[in-house]
Copies of this chain bind each other. A is one copy, B any other.
Amino acid sequence: MSQLPDNNNWFTEVHTADGSAFSFKLTEKGKLHEEQTPFQKIEIYDTETFGKLMVIDGYVMLTTRDNFLYHEMMSHPALFTHPNPERVLIIGGGDCGTLREVLRHPGVKLAQQVDIDEGVTRASEKYFPELCESNDDSRAELHFVDGLKWVQEAAPGSYDLIIVDSTDPVGPAEGLFSEPFFRDCHNCLAENGMVVQQSESPLYHLPLIKDMYTAMGSAGFVGMQTLPFPQPVYPSGWWSCTMAFKDTALKNVDSKDIASREFREQDSENRPFETLYYTTAIHRGTLDTPPFMKKVLAGLK
Contact = CB atoms under 8 A, between A and B. Distances in A.
Interface stretch (A14-22, A107-115, A120-128): A14-22
A284 interface: yes
Interface residues of A, number: 57
Nearest to A231: B237
A292 B31 CA distance: 29
Contacts of A284: 281, 284-285
Interface stretch (A42-50, A76-84, A144-152, A210-218): A42-50
A169 interface: no
A19 B45 CA distance: 13
Contacts of A22: 20-23
Given A232-B237, A236-B232, A284-B281, A12 B19 contact: no
B288 A275 contact: no
Interface in A212-238: 228, 230-232, 236-238
A30 interface: yes
Nearest to A289: B279
A13 interface: yes
Nearest to A236: B232
Contacts of A66: 203
Contact of A292 (B8, B58, B231, B277): B277
B48 A19 contact: yes
Most buried by B among A2, A31, A278, A281: A2
A296 to B, nearest CB: 11
A224 B278 CA distance: 21
A288 B292 contact: no
Contact of A276 (B7, B10, B65, B292): B292
Nearest to A19: B49
Given A228-B230, A288-B281, A10 B5 contact: no
Contacts of A58: 2
Interface in A1-40: 1-5, 7-8, 10-14, 18-26, 30-31
B14 A5 contact: yes
Interface of A: 1-5, 7-8, 10-14, 18-26, 30-31, 47-50, 58, 65-66, 68, 202-203, 228, 230-232, 236-238, 274-282, 284-288, 290-292
